Amino acid sequence: NFMLTQPHSVSESPGKTVTISCTRSSGSIDSNYVQWYRQRPGSSPTIVIYEDYQRPSGVPDRFSGSIDSSSNSASLTISGLKTEDEADYYCQSYDDADRVFGGGTKLTVL
């Protein structure tokens, strides 16, 4: 099995842009789709990106996903940061039938 490694925490100011990375330890990042979830304190996770860059209905276009084969990583970019974006963010992918989560990144908007 592979691992998905995320930075433990990131912080940025309101109105700015932040990018959270998710690096796959083995195998190609583009061999399986990557999803991103937001988890606010005390709440269940909700999906914000699926299939690398697709946004579910209701997710603002401030959220975008991408894949970089050269670094074998996926990224979640949030532009025009709002205080309500402060949360934990998790990436997730597949290894055959196994579902694998990254360790999560705490985003602080200050």
Partner 1 sequence: QVQLQESGPGLVKPSQTLSLTCTVSGGSISSGDYYWNWIRQPPGKGLEWIGYINYYSDNTYYNPSLRSRVTVSVDTSKKQFSLKLTSVTAADTAVYYCARESTVTTGFDSWGQGTLVTVSS
For partner 1, the binding residues (CB under 8 A) are 1, 33, 35, 37, 44-47, 50-51, 54, 56, 90, 92, 94, 97-104
Q: Which is nearer to partner 1, 13 or 44 (CB)?
A: 44
- 97-105: long-range contacts, CB 8 A cutoff, minimum separation 24: 98/1, 100/1, 100/2, 100/3, 100/4, 101/4, 102/4, 102/5, 102/6, 102/22, 103/4, 103/5, 103/6, 103/8, 104/6, 104/39, 105/6, 105/7, 105/8, 105/9, 105/10, 105/20
**Shortest Å, Cβ 47 to partner 1:** 5
Q: Which is nearer to partner 1, 16 or 98 (CB)?
A: 98
**Shortest Å, Cβ 99 to partner 1:** 4
Q: Which is nearer to partner 1, 39 or 72 (CB)?
A: 39
